[in-house]
Amino acid sequence: MKRFLKLNFPLILVILCALFVRLVFLNIAPIALNHDEVTFVENAKAVFLTGKDLSGTWSPLSLTPISYGFPMSELPFLLVSPWGIFPSTLFWARLPYALFSAGLVVILYFIAQKLFGRKQALAVGLVAAFNPWGIFLGRTAFDSPLAVFFYMLSLLLILHLNKKKILFVFIPLFIAFFSYIGTKIILVPFTIVISTYSYILNKRKDTLYYSLLVIATIILTGIFMISLFSHNTGQRLSELSTPFSSSVAKTVDQQRSLTLNSPLTPIFSNKFEAFTSEFLHKYTGIFSTQYQFFYGDSDQHLSLWFHGYFYYLDFIFLILGYCALFTKNKKAWVLLTALILIAPIPAALYQKDSIYVTRGVLIYPLFILLIGFGIYTFVDYFKKYTKTAIVIILTLIYLLLFLNFTNIYLFRYPMYNSEGVDFSSRLMANYVLLASKSTEITVYTNEPDALFKDFLFYDDFYNRGNTKIIAKKFKAHDFSLKNVTFKTGCPKDAEVKTGEPIVVAVSSGCNSGIIYNTDYKVIPQLGDATPVYKIYFDNICKNFGLKQFVSGLNLQDFDLKNLTNKQFCEDFILNRR
């Protein structure tokens, strides 16, 4: 055992660090799941219980996008479905994703060991374990980290396998392809790059098997492209930008309307020029230092806003690692460079503002490999005694950077961006649960299906005993259970019953009728107390001392199930009028 621990201590250290930062406070941080995450979690539970989604109309084994609602990736529901055996809580919902994230750290450790060496692998592993992108996305229930896990697993396998075993690499590539819609387009170029590198590393042997692997991914992509016209993924085609997209045509029209007549206009102001310009703008955006090291994405669900996906110091070691790798291992440098050049393509072809943290997700583990190599190269430059001092200094600096990230993530983010995880919907679900114990309650919203799923998750109502009932309700668009009903529109005077609480989403735009002359309570956005839901005829919080703003909270206050009614109301429900 001692020999085992000594030989594997670096790997054990990396695994323990990766698990700790991804699992600690996982039951309360982040403070909720947003609607997309709840969709993944609840449908995964449905797959575990029934083999199909919540509506009972779709199976992940069909390898088609989920049929109910907006098209989403095919396999994540199946990959995390075993955790459906556990209760619906934030911890159990996020645990499989956190474990996949920790698993990616281990994969990067072994990739670094193969490409760089054993000592360099420890540096890469520690960088991966504490990387802000890995921690932030690893504690969510999104699908893109699952895809990158299997892409990097395929790279690891192809570096070690030969002969017929090379064909086994198709398995993780297949899973990666069906794990996230946004990265499907890179399957073939990714496979060509890693196969070519491994083929050269393998002294140009096993040509047949490398060729078959590439051909298999081309066929898989081709079959998928043909099938787009027979299922609802075709809706996502409109998100891709081409020279013939309506958005590109609109750009050209605007350019020409603001250009003097000239024979050069048709040459330099046309659809192909506009598309190329837009593509390059989005393509290079992923390399923005402000995006990656300072602010992150503008999407409130995918960024801390006050911290990037890497630490400030990582920038220096990223550049150092890239340059040092060129001088020490040109083959590995070419491999990583080629993969880095592939990574931004999905984001560059996206019509809307690029979301690099998901659509360019492949670039993050590649940057981590280079940063780890850069740190090792820097430390190794110094002599023995100086080296120890440098390691201590770097450790202290990174510790301060990690603590700053932790402070933002655990203690600031829940307040200034509570709606990044739709926390108000969690508060709504908790309030509805409490109120429905004694009376009927109706929630009016523009998205009754999403809030119904939130209600099922947060109050743990979906179980083996009611799967058929829930499926029928989804198919009938009847979002009601027991004393609770979710519906669209606004409360009509004839529907208002004295003593029965009514919750109205502010986004519904309802502002007339009898209830609007009555007092109401508010479920707010935490940071500025902006109302997200209004509660009329409250029967839970009316006897408590409610505030005008949310204040004085600590992290444990977000463990809603352990709060008394008084604590819940006085912490999170505001009084108006």
Please give the pLDDT value at position 510: 86
Please give the pLDDT value at position 47: 96
Please give the pLDDT value at position 239: 65
Query: Average pLDDT for residues 393-401, to the nearest whole number?
Result: 97
Across 425-447, b (16+ Cβ under 10 Å) vs e yields bbbbbbbbbbbbeeebbbbbbeb
Query: Average pLDDT for residues 133-143, to the nearest whole number?
Result: 96
Please give the pLDDT value at position 334: 97
Residues 186 and 343: beta-carbon distance below 8 Å: yes
Query: Average pLDDT for residues 493-501, to the nearest whole number?
Result: 78
Predicted confidence (pLDDT) at residue 470 exceeds the cutoff of 90: yes
Please give the pLDDT value at position 516: 75
Predicted confidence (pLDDT) at residue 245 exceeds the cutoff of 80: no
Predicted confidence (pLDDT) at residue 260 exceeds the cutoff of 70: yes
Check residue 409 and report its DSSP letter: I
Please give the pLDDT value at position 148: 97
Question: pLDDT for 365-378, tens place per residue?
Answer: 999 999 999 999 99
Please give the pLDDT value at position 232: 56
Local confidence band at 237 (pLDDT 50, 70, 90 cut-offs) = low
Predicted confidence (pLDDT) at residue 233 exceeds the cutoff of 70: no
Question: pLDDT for 265-315, tens place per residue?
Answer: 787 888 888 888 888 988 999 999 999 999 999 888 999 999 999 999 999
* Secondary structure in 3-state letters for 290-334: HHHHHHCCCCCCCCCCCCCCCCCCHHHHHHHHHHHHHHHCHHHHH
Predicted confidence (pLDDT) at residue 235 exceeds the cutoff of 70: no
Please give the pLDDT value at position 494: 72
Predicted confidence (pLDDT) at residue 234 exceeds the cutoff of 60: no
Please give the pLDDT value at position 231: 62
Q: How many CB atoms lie within 10 A of CB 117?
A: 13
Of the candidates 444, 238, 220, 201, the residue with the CA atom closest to the CA atom of residue 330: 201
Predicted confidence (pLDDT) at residue 535 exceeds the cutoff of 70: yes
Predicted confidence (pLDDT) at residue 577 exceeds the cutoff of 70: no
Local confidence band at 431 (pLDDT 50, 70, 90 cut-offs) = very high
Residues of the chain with pLDDT > 90, as a percent, come to: 74
Predicted confidence (pLDDT) at residue 64 exceeds the cutoff of 90: no
| Chain length of the chain | 577
Local confidence band at 255 (pLDDT 50, 70, 90 cut-offs) = confident
Residues 410 and 555: beta-carbon distance below 8 Å: yes
Pairing state of beta strands 441-444 and 484-487? parallel
Domain boundaries, the chain: 2-31+89-416, 422-446+488-576
Residues 484 and 451: beta-carbon distance below 8 Å: no
Predicted confidence (pLDDT) at residue 423 exceeds the cutoff of 70: yes
Local confidence band at 263 (pLDDT 50, 70, 90 cut-offs) = confident
User: How many whole angstroms separate alpha carbon 357 and alpha carbon 292?
Assistant: 9
User: How many whole angstroms separate alpha carbon 441 and alpha carbon 490?
Assistant: 14
Question: pLDDT for 168-209, tens place per residue?
Answer: 999 999 999 999 988 999 999 999 999 999 999 988 899 999
Tell me the pLDDT of the chain averaged across its residues: 91
Please give the pLDDT value at position 45: 97
Predicted confidence (pLDDT) at residue 411 exceeds the cutoff of 80: yes
Question: pLDDT for 36-50, tens place per residue?
Answer: 999 999 999 999 999
User: How many whole angstroms separate alpha carbon 60 and alpha carbon 421?
Assistant: 26
Please give the pLDDT value at position 40: 94
